[in-house]
Amino acid sequence: MQKGNLEKIGAVTLNYSHYPGEDFYCDGASEDELLEIVRSVPPQRYAQAIREKKSWEVLYHLSDLRENIVAWLPMDKSMKVLEVGSGCGAVTGRLAEMAGSVTCVELSRKRSLINAYRHRDCGNVTVHVGNFTDIEPDLPSDYDFVCLIGVFEYGQSYIGGQTPFHDFYRILRKHVKPDGRIVIAIENKMGLKYWAGCQEDHLGTFFSGLEDYPGGGAVRTFTRGGLERILRDCGETAYQFYYPYPDYKFMTMLYSDRYLPRVGELSNNLRNFDRDRMLLFDEKRVFDMLIRENLFPLYSNSFLVLTGPEIGTVYSRFSNDRAARYGIRTDIGQRPDGVRYVRKYPAGPEARAHIRKLADNYRSFSAGYAAGGLEMNRLSASDSYVELEFLESAVTLEELLDDCLQKNDEPRFLALFSRYREAVMGNRSAVSDGMPLQDFDLIFSNICVQGEKWTVIDYEWASAEIRPEDIIQRALYCYVLENGKRKEHPILQRILAEQGMDGAAFARLAGRETAFQEAVMRESDGSLRTAVTDLRHLIGHLALPFQEAFAQIANKRIEIFEDYGEGYSPAHSYHIQNAYISENLLSARILCGECVKGIRLDPAEEPCIVHVRRVLLGERQLTEAELARAVVTNGEMLDGGLAQSGGVRNEKVRPGKVLLKGTAPRDETRPACGFPSVFFDTADPNINVRLDLLEDRPAGETVLTVEAWIVRPDEEMLKSLRAGLARRKRFWFQR
């Protein structure tokens, strides 16, 4: 319903007082699709829509994981929030749930409608549609929070001028009450993902941020130092840096300068879903190195800047990539006296029962595992969360086992594992009748070690349907799964053998793990969420290891060797990078000096089939008789049917000395001079042209041109080719 400059979508108000009458920014059909979804699909079914659509745009705008970046902030119903650049409302709903009122500013009417329809029940949301600079003078100056989630980098577009980001920040400060806060979530220009092969989020180009945007443009991200300079220049002295991981868009963990990541924690790095990427190195290993060298804050993929006095939360972890009834958030907080604590919150109302069940697990496991020497991390419950003790100076059992493997300390490894095994098995002896309740997730990383004291820090999942032996095998399975190289160590191989962990056991455990994960992901209505780790495969973007990319490049270049009368050698060789004029068509122009006796052309660096189309010396095409005399290869001649059927001509050949003669294949790749195909079953195929055997070679420098079609057989075709050649050789031997 629209009245004057106002429109109501459910309980949400849209204000068009400053709307210019048209949208200057639009993603076209994808926004139409989003609008249709939010009009017709209830929010609890968005996860299913994401799974069905397999679309980056639907994932990006509708995933509830986008809300994680603001869900941990200390807001309550007494507070007012200004959200600048609210877009399609990725975080608006969570802000409305936490705060008393939310004022949105958004340039696009289409996006504002999407926001309004998806949050139509939120009567505390108002969306101002139009340019920020037009709307801003009408906004009050008493907001508790001003949020810019993925917006500050567009400051030049919002403001313009010589110092757009400084001016943007100063304008925002005018609308924050004295004890209020500004929240900025933004990519780090130096983020490790960009070094590792991700394309820049806004431009879709490789390394453009690292190169300081040489192509220009309005979007700018910053290093930590760059952001701090802006804050200081604007007179801001009270601010904190947080580090969303893997980035702010789909954050699962939030670190801070008071709680930085530990070695081994940053292992889920393939989280850019918008486009293809390269894999230039193992990001986990590099993150581990940066953590050891105290460099992580410089290379975090994203920043979250929070102005104002220091708050208690130093770390937050989201486990809401699950069915709603299991979604939780774990915070580590710090009191003014420096004492830390751990709190677990339900991510939504559906998960309150799951949080309450932690208290039941605590009581059951405290009694059940006591005989085995395991303590449960102390827990106290309140109406909205459970609080656990923060264990200072603790290392995980996983870290200790890794240290043993690294040092080849077998006695220590065996002692630690034996104690773990005795503790797990001891739970069975603590109960005299029936199967005891087991901590299903009693893996090595969930046990903290402080000297002789072993404490279980996570007991979220309980089961009375599995044996202690199953718990031990699952712990080993998860230990190997998290880092496959561990399995190669002789110490662990002996442990796995002793525990019956053969291939069949791993397959059985993989099936059980899949069933468990599916149960955790299945909603009450039967629909299935998609794990965030699987979203890249769902959408279909590539993550290409650079070795494969390099091999593809290498296979599309050719190497030329020159013979000056002493044979071919690497000293007289070079590469032609642009010889392929299409996917499979090679056209090599080779400059031959008067002293060059022969040219060797290596068309690829893998097995291949070559259809020679023509060979020219200068402007003259060599005849078939000349080629028969002057050209040899290290391949096997094939007739025209080979490339299509895998058959081989029944004529005797000399391996490594095959003349180019015979009939042509009957297809569009037909050689112009009637030459047959040649099969190279080698990673070093070569074609040799003996210029000194050509009677009509021009005097002086000339150009040799070789044109050929190159076919790279797949494994099935290679098998067929090799079988056919073997049959032919047997035929001639018997004859």
- Please report the DSSP string for 647-700 in residue order: ---SS---TT-EE--SPPPSSTT--TT---EEEE-SSS--EEEEGGG-TTPPSS
Rounded CA-CA distance 232/180 in Å is: 18
Per-position b or e across 194-224, b if 16+ CB within 10 A of its CB: bebbbbbbbeeebebbeeebeeeeebbbbbb
Query: How many structural domains does the chain have?
Result: 2
pLDDT computed for residue 532 by the predictor: 77
Query: What does the pLDDT look like over 229-262, one tens digit per residue?
Result: 999 999 999 999 999 999 999 999 999 999 999 9
In a domain, 404, yes or no: yes
In a domain, 466, yes or no: yes
Residues 505 and 372 in one domain: yes
Q: How confident is the model at residue 3 (pLDDT cuts 50, 70, 90)?
A: low
Q: Indicate the Cα dihedral angle 459, 461, 465, 466, nearest 10°.
A: -60
Q: If you ran DSSP here, which 8-state letter would residue 371 be given?
A: G
Whether 433 has a pLDDT exceeding 70, the answer reads no
Q: Which of 185, 221, 180 is nearest to 200 (CA)?
A: 221
| Packing angle of the helix pair 490-498, 410-429 (nearest 10 deg) | 30
Domain boundary among 509, 528, 547: 528
Query: What does the pLDDT look like over 185-201, one tens digit per residue?
Result: 999 999 999 999 999 99
In a domain, 310, yes or no: no
Structural domain that includes position 452: 354-528
In a domain, 588, yes or no: yes
Q: How confident is the model at residue 653 (pLDDT cuts 50, 70, 90)?
A: very low
Residues 404 and 456 in one domain: yes
Q: What are phi and psi of 27, to 5 degrees?
A: -95, 15
Say how many C-beta atoms besides its own lie within 10 A of residue 495's C-beta: 20
Residues 461 and 517 in one domain: yes
Query: What does the pLDDT look like over 489-510, one tens digit per residue?
Result: 999 999 999 999 999 999 999 9
Q: Where are the alpha helices (DSSP H) in 293-443?
A: 296-299, 352-368, 397-407, 410-429
Residues 461 and 560 in one domain: no
Q: Which of 378, 357, 396, 589 is nearest to 482 (CA)?
A: 396
Residues 639 and 523 in one domain: no
Q: Which of 682, 684, 683, 679 is nearest to 658 (CA)?
A: 679
Rounded CA-CA distance 198/270 in Å is: 9
Residues 575 and 521 in one domain: no
Residues 564 and 639 in one domain: yes
Residues 437 and 562 in one domain: no
In a domain, 103, yes or no: no
In a domain, 700, yes or no: yes
User: pLDDT above 90 covers what percent of the chain?
Assistant: 66
458-467, 476-485, 643-652: lowest mean pLDDT where? Answer: 643-652
User: pLDDT above 70 covers what percent of the chain?
Assistant: 91
Q: Where are the alpha helices (DSSP H) in 581-664?
A: 624-630, 642-645
- How far CA 599 is from CA of 118, 490, 699, in Å, comes to 69, 51, 16
- DSSP per-residue string spanning 174-230: TTEEEEEEEEEEEEBTT-HHHHHTPBPTTT--BTTTTTT-TT--S---B-HHHHHHH
Residues 580 and 696 in one domain: yes
What is the residue-averaged pLDDT of the chain?
A: 88
Residues 565 and 523 in one domain: no
In a domain, 584, yes or no: yes
Q: What are phi and psi of 69, to 5 degrees?
A: -65, -25
Residue pointed to by tokens 């087991």: 438
pTM strictly above 0.75? yes
Size of the chain, expressed as the number of residues it contains: 735
Residues 463 and 423 in one domain: yes
Q: How many CA atoms lie within 13 A of 641 on its CB side?
A: 8
Residues 606 and 651 in one domain: yes
Q: Where are the alpha helices (DSSP H) in 522-598?
A: 535-539, 546-555
DSSP β-ladder status, 631-633 and 658-659: antiparallel
Write out the two tokens for 39: 């009009």
Write out the two tokens for 521: 């992901």
In a domain, 366, yes or no: yes
